[in-house]
Structure 1
Amino acid sequence: MGVAGEDGLVTYHYEVMRPRDWVDSRFIAYLMKSNWFTGELIKRERGIGAGGKGNVRTTEVPFSVLKTIDSYIPETDEQRAIADYLDQETTQIDVLVATQEELIRLLRERQAAIADAEFQRTEGKRTMTVRQTLVPLARRSVPGTGVVTAYRDGVVTLRTNRRADGYTMSAAEAGYQGVIPGDIVFHALDGFAGAVGIADSEGQCSPVYHVCSPRYDDDAEYLSLLIRYMGTSGFLSSQAPSTRQRSVDFRNWGTFARVPLVLPTVEHQKSFVEEYRQQTTQIDTLIAKAEEHIALAKERRSALITAAVTGQFDVRAAKKGARV
């Protein structure tokens, strides 16, 4: 929702409206962004029965419904004063948000650079294949245990640790295999996008996964980080045929087993994993703090807009107070 800055075209998903002569378009835009207006939309969405989910993002709300929302509209001068005030205040908040987003981008670049420096270096390393390095486990699954999923961020955990709904479940759990903490779990269709890591939970996973352990003394966490890097850097995409858009099929163990791995000594693997944990933990902490600042800023922005357009405070008085 916003005020168009230039002529153009939009799809049929949009409602294009023009305010009456005595209405400031910026004020109306802020009004329609407010928590109050969103609440009114949710009420009407439930009323028109389009899914009944209470989420305005799931329903197209036509103008015939929008125009049923009654709101007090102040005089034109006050509308402009509110819009001017919100333009100034929200711009300041948006700058703070953009600064934190840039910090997160730089932190993620730093995190990626650590992996680049390690896994792009080949000096003093030996070349092995997955078959020579990993052993597929194929444990018997325990019926009724939780389902383990490898996510694209490298976390391998029970689905219930993240969310319980939204998954397609097999009633018979045919071909499922057991997983225990410490296993290397690779998603044969999504591993190219980073869905590989060390399991932190006991459970079972579908046959689309390869559940493995090191064949020799190699560090399991180093191997999982290396394979994940090979996926996110695009290397795995060149190693197997594609079965769907932006996917690579490694369900055949023989195909996956041929993938080459370039490995340093076991001692170096262990020292790198320790250093990587420390540095990424620090970076993740900084990212979490930045994300918290962003969430608080956006919450304040939303609350400020709602309070201003619904007359909860006098913006003229707020401006005078700011100058003192």
Structure 2
Amino acid sequence: MTFPKYPEYKDSGVEWLGEVPAHWEIKPLKYVATYNDEVLPESTPDDYPIKYVEISDVDDQLGITGWSEHSFSSAPSRARRVLKNGDVLISTVRTYLRAIAPVIEPPENLVGSTGFAAIRPVLGVYHFALLGYTLRAEWFISHIIARSVGVSYPAINASDLAALPLPVPPWKEQQSIAAFLDHETARIDALVKEQQRLIELLKDKRQAVISHAVTKGLDPDAPMKDSGVEWLGEVPAHWGIVKFLRCVKIAEGQVDPKLEEYREKILIAPNHVESATGRVLSLETAESQGAESGKYVCRAGDVAYSKIRPALRKACVVDKEVLCSADMYPLRPLINLTSDYLLWSILSEPFSRLTALESERVAMPKINRESLNEIYMAVPPLEEQASISDHISQETQRLDQLTSIATEAIELLSERRSALISAAVTGKIDVRGWKAEKHSEQPEVLMAAEERATYA
């Protein structure tokens, strides 16, 4: 779908706005909206109920994502900004977080942090829905961030924010632009949700592939037996059922990462490993991480496994000697077990569920050596372990590729959404003649996303 341009433009006089339609005006925000109009007075009754929105509850794409409930007396002292329908919240602190969102049909007693500027459009001067789009346009957010002062805690004064210039179309045109953006962004958002749902389905499928292969094998006609282990259920009759300590050695003995022989070695910690995939996200040496406390040595072929929060399934096979954090176990497969099969077993849903259950018995979720050693493992013959590992690798790679396609589609849709908003609120496209059509032609990027969803 393409849109015409306006017949005539003029220089806005604002470098980062460029040209705007000739009949539009350029005004400071404070000429079309007020800010911080209402605050809760200190005389508010102690039992007055508050729904409190803080900076972490606001996202420039998703809007207000939640709030916490308090009485006035128990609420944070910064819970003071009274919010009304049509307001736009803009964080004036840590502006790089891009915490900007319109307030749409808020619940009763919604209150924002004093870390926000609550912008309220002047009735009949600037349309509330259009203001929500304009203040979230990329060029506006960029200039809020650029004008913020401070390194670790950049902030902008509400008065400086209110002085930023905005393009101001005639009132009727504002209504048309707002209606257009409401319709088009809703269509894009719906496609994004479909792609997100697809990603979740692919994650579930990935997990199912792993779990089935390491507990049931690849041959659907193989005779089965009761494993005698609740979390395993039935397994192929020719598989062995052995305790973890019989097929895996949990390496012991920590080393000093500051010693010359260790400080240049790669140090893997849980934060370096992607949850549930076995992929290492980044590699850093012990020295570059400033490591000081004791670490374990992982040999090539060991599986580094995070004992902290095992439900996150953070484990990976190491291909050379490295160090691993004291929050991880170096798991060394014994002669009857391969490294890859051990990894996939650890990443399986049943194993993860069991270790998570064991870890909940302590304050910080953690699986200890004793509990890990007592877990029973299903162990196929070595040749079958290799076949199962190859099958899982191929299937997960295929599913990961589809996930990447869906992720790329979301990125393209998000870019399209942002570009559409910026173009409409600055007059780069003329939507005065636009009418919502039930079966209107999809923009090219939306069609591409839908085709990918169908393919997946």
Structure 1 equivalent of residue 268 of structure 2: 148
Cα 1:265–1:108, aligned 2, differ >3 Å: closer, same or farther? same
Give 3-state SS (helix, strand or coil) of 2:234's partner. coil
Alignment-mate amino acid for residue 51 of structure 1: S
- Aligned 8 A contact 1:81 1:316 in 2: yes
CA RMSD of aligned residues (A): 3.1
| Superposition pairs of residues 125-204 of structure 1, within 5 angstroms | 125-138=239-252, 142-150=262-270, 151=273, 152-155=275-278, 157=280, 159-160=282-283, 169=289, 171-172=291-292, 174-200=293-319, 202-204=321-323
Comparing 253-262 with 28-37, greater Cα deviation is found at 253-262
| Superposition pairs of residues 115-134 of structure 1, within 5 angstroms | 115-118=210-213, 119=215, 120-123=232-235, 124=237, 125-134=239-248
Structure 2 equivalent of residue 56 of structure 1: none
**1:38, CA displacement in angstroms?**
0.5
**1:248, CA displacement in angstroms?**
1.8
Give 3-state SS (helix, strand or coil) of 1:135's partner. strand
Alignment-mate amino acid for residue 129 of structure 1: K
Alignment-mate amino acid for residue 278 of structure 1: Q
Alignment-mate amino acid for residue 127 of structure 1: I
Structure 1 equivalent of residue 145 of structure 2: 42
Q: TM-score, normalised by structure 1?
A: 0.82
Cα 1:281–1:158, aligned 2, differ >3 Å: closer, same or farther? closer
Structure 2 equivalent of residue 21 of structure 1: 123
Alignment-mate amino acid for residue 212 of structure 2: A
Alignment-mate amino acid for residue 103 of structure 1: L
Percent identity, aligned pairs only, is: 24
Comparing 110-119 with 223-232, greater Cα deviation is found at 223-232
Cα 1:80–1:202, aligned 2, differ >3 Å: closer, same or farther? farther
Give 3-state SS (helix, strand or coil) of 1:204's partner. strand
**1:202, CA displacement in angstroms?**
4.3
Q: Which of the pair is proportionally richer in helix?
A: 1
**1:193, CA displacement in angstroms?**
1.9
- Aligned 8 A contact 1:187 1:209 in 2: yes
Higher relative contact order structure (alpha carbons within 8 Å, sequence separation ≥ 6): 1
**1:158, CA displacement in angstroms?**
7.2
Q: Which of the pair is proportionally richer in strand?
A: 2
Quote the Cα distance in structure 1 between the aligned partners of 2:162 and 2:317.
Answer: 54
Cα 1:94–1:232, aligned 2, differ >3 Å: closer, same or farther? farther
Alignment-mate amino acid for residue 96 of structure 1: L
Structure 1 equivalent of residue 105 of structure 2: 5
| Superposition pairs of residues 146-295 of structure 1, within 5 angstroms | 146-150=266-270, 151=273, 152-155=275-278, 157=280, 159-160=282-283, 169=289, 171-172=291-292, 174-200=293-319, 202-229=321-348, 233-240=352-359, 242-245=361-364, 247-250=365-368, 253-295=369-411
Select the residue among 182, 189, 193 that pairs with 1:87: 182
- Aligned 8 A contact 1:179 1:203 in 2: yes
**1:74, CA displacement in angstroms?**
1.5
- Aligned 8 A contact 2:296 2:323 in 1: yes
Comparing 3-12 with 269-278, greater Cα deviation is found at 3-12
- Aligned 8 A contact 1:184 1:213 in 2: yes
Structure 2: 5+ residue runs without aligned partners?
A: 1-100, 216-231, 256-260, 442-456
- Aligned 8 A contact 2:313 2:352 in 1: no
Comparing 2-11 with 271-280, greater Cα deviation is found at 2-11
**1:237, CA displacement in angstroms?**
2.3
Structure 1: 5+ residue runs without aligned partners?
A: 54-58
- Aligned 8 A contact 2:310 2:356 in 1: no
**1:230, CA displacement in angstroms?**
5.3
Instruction: Report Cα offsets for 1:14-45 as digits up to 9, x if no partner.
Output: 54443211121110000011001101210232
**Number of residues paired by the alignment?**
306
- Aligned 8 A contact 2:355 2:367 in 1: no
Instruction: Report Cα offsets for 1:168-195 as digits up to 9, x if no partner.
Output: 94543x4223334422111121333201
**1:51, CA displacement in angstroms?**
2.1
Do residues 51 (structure 1) and 152 (structure 2) align? yes
- Aligned 8 A contact 1:158 1:203 in 2: no
Instruction: Report Cα offsets for 1:46-94 as digits up to 9, x if no partner.
Output: x2x26256xxxxx6x6644432322122211111111111122212212
Alignment-mate amino acid for residue 309 of structure 1: V
Cα 1:204–1:302, aligned 2, differ >3 Å: closer, same or farther? same
- Aligned 8 A contact 2:304 2:324 in 1: no
